[in-house]
Amino acid sequence: AIQTVTGGILFGNLVGVGSRMVTADASGILSTQAIPAGLSGGTNGYAAFWTGASTLGADSGFFWDNTNKRLGIGTANPRDLLQVDSAVSNPLKVRIHTESATTDFLAGLAFGVDTGNQFMKSSIAHQRKGSNGVGDLVFLVDSNNDAADVGIGDEKARITSAGNVGIGTTSPSVLFEVV
């Protein structure tokens, strides 16, 4: 019979010999299997990833600095919490995307510094305005001392897809407009 358990489980009689691991299928049913040979060894700092059903791989381009808690993509010497390096000439290094055909949806980065509440009080985002993802770059800054994240109502500046720049307006109609 299938039992639902909340909390920890002590397995008293696992089937099999040697080191075992517990796996779960798509239905949540647990079973044990031998730990695949690819799970032993590795290179210090290289972040492991699955290259097949039972094979782990690693690469110097995906590096975890456990001493400083930093992740490097494209570098084995990350200097910040996340560092992305590439020798490819394509300027797109990090892709941030929202899957939507809805006008005014946002995709961007949010920033915040506080004492643990993690409120995001500023953002740089792309706002979809037309088909194929055409849109504007918006700069949002929440100046309210409240328990809320920044939102589109906190817009301070915008660069439209036509190249118009607006400060204090959400729809600049000339090359540079300050309200």
Q: How far apart are CA 146 and CA 29, in angstroms?
A: 45
Supply the pLDDT for residue 8: 63
Supply the pLDDT for residue 1: 57
Per-residue pLDDT of the chain (179 residues; tens, 9 = 90+): 566 667 666 665 556 666 677 777 787 777 777 766 655 667 888 888 878 777 778 888 899 999 999 999 989 999 999 998 888 777 777 889 999 999 999 999 999 998 888 899 999 999 999 999 999 999 999 999 999 999 999 999 999 999 999 999 999 999 999 99
Supply the pLDDT for residue 52: 79
Supply the pLDDT for residue 105: 94
Residue 46's alpha-carbon distances to 35, 42, 71, 94, in angstroms, are: 20, 8, 10, 20
Q: Which two tokens stand for residue 157?
A: 């500046």
Strand blocks (E) in the chain = 20-24, 30-34, 49-50, 56-57, 62-65, 70-73, 82-84, 106-111, 122-128, 135-141, 155-159, 165-167, 176-178
Supply the pLDDT for residue 19: 67
Supply the pLDDT for residue 136: 98
Predicted structure pTM score: 0.67
Supply the pLDDT for residue 47: 84
Supply the pLDDT for residue 176: 97
